[in-house]
Structures are given as structure tokens and as C-alpha cells.
Amino acid sequence: MATTDVNQDVYAIEVLGLDAGITEDAIDADLVAKANSLGIASSTLQKRNTSSAFSSSTFGSTMDQTFSATSSSTHATPRSSIFAASSTDLAHSGAGSFALYDQFLAADDAPLEQVRFRKGSLPAANSSAQSLFSVSTHKSFSSVKSGFKSRSWWRKRTDPSLCKQGSHPVGTDCPEDWELEAVKKMGQSTNWKRCHSCHNLVNLPKGATHMVCRCKEELCHICGGIWDSTTGCPNLCGNEAELEKRQTGFPSSHIKDGHDGTKPQSAAQKEAEKRNAEKRSLRSPEVQALMGKQALELSRFCAFSARTRSSMQTRHATDKLALLERHAEEDDALKHKHNQASSALEDRQIAAEMELRATLEQTARSVKLRLKHMEAYCQGRAAAAVAVAAHHTEAEAAAGRVVTERNLKELGQQYTLRDGMERQQAAKINVMRERQARRMEELLDRHDAEEEALADRQHGESQAQAARCAAEEEALTGTLRMLQLRLNARWSLQLDVLCREREEAEGLRYGAVATPAWPQDQFYVEQLCRQ
């Protein structure tokens, strides 16, 4: 993707309304610091945010989530998974540098040791070498088997890679997958699952019985299990009895509260207080002003994304038109070259045929002239011999030349040569024309091969340009998706901070307020996952 498609400075000025020199990371740091001062922990922020920008491309941030999970008082930082990094940071996130990681380990050595040995510190190994299968060994054979069980693909319960906790029941998503929860909330649909192979979000198309990821992995839309083309879902989600049994196995609110189906009085009071707090938040002028500001940012973001996408499409159309013009010029140049080569060969063949005809005509004249002389010699000598025999003596007649059989035989051969000369000349001309036709055919074959090679090269260039444009569009969609998730997370945190400030100022409880709803055409998470 071209670096000029999404300009972070222009985005900060036009969408966020920031002054020159103020970055998005700076306002995020100020907002997180304010949230920490109000006692909003990172775990609360993550549940309120329900989105993590880094989890869409890599699961390396799960270590940070684990560190945050060790202590309930861990404060949020701009480097945590609350806000997504800018697109420039994401582009260089894979750089081979461990400086920040070493600093992090040095600063948080105690929490790291606590996480590493959160199941209890192991005693020091004694000098006696105990067997792995002995009774006194801390690692028993059953624990070894349990380690292999967590990696069984066919097991109905799987250990999630996000929360690193125990396995979840069939049909339930990982509660620590905040991005999946955010997508379900933003998309107004629950038909979303995370792929087991590429860890991307997958949506259920309309009219389909199962999900198909862009990595060709097929998933069940109910439990997220690996779909089999022959048997279907491995967890038998298509069986109504199995679904009913699974649903009855889940703990429900009426089972917890009582078998009569009535809620306790405390739960009803809590529900009423929650509704009153939400109404109080919606009636607050400060909250309404913040929601109006966020709605304005949403409209500016939609305009910015549309303008950015239009600019990219215009650039793609210009590149495609330039490529088509260059291909047309190459086709014209090749055709002109082929026409010149064909004309030159045709001219040479015509000149060769004319030269051959001139040679044959000269040969015919020579044969006719010789035949004329031979006829005159033979016929003239015979007439002269008759006259001499009548007027002269035998001695005078014997002194002259007599036409022999050899002369007559040569004369007959000359007649035969004259009669077959036309046929021989036509045969020579036909042979030359056949040879010229083969040469012309070979030339045309070479021309066809050159045209096919040019067409293949042009087709390859067109395919490469189409692939490049598709990759740029996908990268732009991913960048806008990251900006969208980060903006939505900032809105959520701003509302939390404002509600907490109003609670401390007025002494009343303020409920959670929903962030502005995104238009369907600007829902880049759905567009990216459907590709």
C-alpha cells in the first residue's frame, strides 16, 4: 500500500481535530493517565472497551494481558492493548529489537516471577534422582497425560490461547477475546467466530450452513468447531437433542436465583438502579455534549475514509489506464514491425521470381536461336546437294558437306528440348514459389509466437497490477479497521472517565453509555473478514 493513502497527520487534524504537533498517542496517554487517576483499572477498561487492536494480527499481546491479569490494580498504559498503535507502528512491529522487552522484564521482574510460578513455587530438587513415575514425584504420570490432553484437537473443550485459563464449554467464546465481543457488538450480530488456523474473524454468509475463512478453513457457526464436509460439525450442533442438552447444562439466571422463576428483590433493585443510572447518564448535558462530539468525529472519519478510498481508487484507475495505453503502444509497435518484415520478405520473393523468369526467358531464346541455325544448316545443305547433283559432276558434289544422321539426331533433340522447355520453366517457378511460401509461413509462425509472448507478458503485468491493487485495498481496509477500533476504544474510555467524574462530583451513579453506531458501509471489520 502506498504510504500516502493514510496520512496520520492529516487524520489527526481532520478527523480528531487536533492541533499541529499533537499526536494521537499523546491524547491517548493523557486519557489513560486520567483514567488511572480515577481508579479505572486496565481490566475494567478492557471489559468496557471489548476490543484489542493487536489481537487481529498477532497474539503476542496475550503475555501483556496475562501480566495485567495477575493484579487487579494494574493501571492502563498507552502501550497496553486498550488502544491500537498507529499504522506506522504496526508496519514496524516485527522489527528485531528486544530493548523494550528487556526493559519491561527489568521493570516488572516481580510480576513476571509471579506469573511464571502462579501455580505455586516448586521446592528445590534434592540430590536423589527420583523416577518420573514414582509416587513422591511432583510431576506424576497423570499430569503428563493432562498436558497431552490439552493438545487433542478432537476434544470438545479447548484451552483458549487468549486468556490461558481453563477450557470453555462447547458453543461459548473466550471471554478474554475482546475483539470478537467488539465485532459482535458493532455488527449487531452474533454470527462471528475466530478461526483456529489464522486467528482471523469469520462471519456467516447469508444462506450458508457453516463459515468459511479466507484461509479455506471451515468452521461451525454455532460452536466454532472444525467443520467436516462429510459429517458436519464434530460437536453435533445439528442435533436438536444435543443442543437442548447443552443449553440445559449451562447455568442460567432462573436456576441461580430460584426454581420458581422469580427474581429476588435485591436483583430487581439492582436492575432498577442500573436503568436509572443509564437514564441519568443520557440526560447529563456533559455526556450529551461528548456524544455529539463523538458523532461528529464519526462523520469526519466516514468522510476521511471515503476520501482516502476514493483517492486510492483514482490512483489505481490511473495506473490501469497507463498500463493499457502502454500495452496498446506495444501492440502497435509489434504489428508495425511484423508488417515491415512481411513486406520486405514479399519484396525479396517477387524480385527473385522476376529474376528467375528473366533467366528462363533468356534460356528459351538461346534454345530457339540454336534450333533455327540447326534447321537452316540441315535444310540448306540438303537443297544445295540436289542442285549440285543436277549441274555439276560427282567430284564437285563430293567436295561439299553432307548432312549426316548425327546432325538429324541433334536436330530432333533440339526439338524435344524446345517442346519441354515451357514445362521445365513452370516447374522451376513452382518449386521457387513453394520454397518462398514455406519461408513466409515460418515468418508468420515467428510473428504469432512473438504476439503470444507479448500477450502473456501483458496478461502477467495486468494480473500483477490487479493483485497489487487488491493487496493495497486490503491493507487500506486493515488500516482503517485499526483506526476504527482505536477510535471506538477511545470513545468508550472517554465516556467511562466522564461518568466517573460526574459520579465523584454529584455523588450519584452513572451508567454505561453506548458509543455512536457505525454505518454498515463503514464497518470495516465485517468487510475485512468477509474477504
CB-based contact 46:37 (threshold 8 Å): no
What is the three-class DSSP state of 129?
Answer: coil
Burial class (CB in 10 A: 0-12, 13-18, 19+), 419: exposed
Q: Does residue 450 form part of some domain?
A: yes
Question: Mean pLDDT across the stretch 499-515?
Answer: 85
Q: State percent of the chain over pLDDT 70.
A: 61
Q: Does residue 48 form part of some domain?
A: no
Report the residue count for the chain: 531
Q: At residue 65, does pLDDT exceed 80?
A: no
Q: Does residue 11 form part of some domain?
A: no
Half-sphere exposure of 432 (CA within 13 A, CB side): 18
Q: Model confidence over 67-87: pLDDT tens digits? A: 333 333 444 444 444 554 444
CB-based contact 529:300 (threshold 8 Å): no
pLDDT band with cut points at 50, 70 and 90 for residue 2: low
pLDDT band with cut points at 50, 70 and 90 for residue 319: very high
> What is the distance of C-alpha 458 from the center of its chain?
21
Q: Which of the given ranges, 83-97, 173-187, 208-222, 392-406, has the highest pLDDT on average?
A: 208-222
Distance CA 399, CA 403 (A): 13
Q: At residue 29, does pLDDT exceed 80?
A: yes
CB-based contact 428:360 (threshold 8 Å): yes
Minimum mean pLDDT among 36-40, 89-93, 378-382: which range? Answer: 89-93
pLDDT band with cut points at 50, 70 and 90 for residue 505: confident
pLDDT band with cut points at 50, 70 and 90 for residue 419: confident
Question: Mean pLDDT across the stretch 353-367?
Answer: 87
Count the helices and strands in the chain (H runs, E runs): 16, 4
Domain count, the chain: 1
Q: Which residue has the higher pLDDT, 215 or 166?
A: 215
Q: Model confidence over 276-310: pLDDT tens digits? A: 888 888 888 888 898 899 999 999 999 999 999 99
Q: Does residue 341 form part of some domain?
A: yes
Q: Which residue has the higher pLDDT, 172 or 476?
A: 476
Name the helix (H) or strand (E) containing 192.
Answer: strand 192-194
Q: Does residue 124 form part of some domain?
A: no
Q: Model confidence over 226-263: pLDDT tens digits? A: 888 777 787 777 666 666 666 555 444 444 444 444 44
Q: At residue 315, does pLDDT exceed 90?
A: yes
Q: Output the CA angle 49-51-55, nearest 5 degrees.
A: 150
Q: Does residue 350 form part of some domain?
A: yes
Q: Which long-range contacts (CB under 8 A, 24 or more apart) does 272-281 make?
A: 273/509, 274/511, 275/511, 276/509, 276/511, 277/508, 277/509, 277/510, 277/511, 278/511, 278/512, 278/513, 279/511, 280/508, 280/509, 280/510, 280/511, 281/499, 281/502, 281/510, 281/511, 281/512, 281/513
Q: Which domain holds residue 426?
A: 324-467
Q: Does residue 400 form part of some domain?
A: yes
Show the cell assigned to 208: 450458508
Q: Which residue has the higher pLDDT, 47 or 283?
A: 283
Q: Does residue 412 form part of some domain?
A: yes
Burial class (CB in 10 A: 0-12, 13-18, 19+), 527: middle
CB-based contact 417:367 (threshold 8 Å): yes
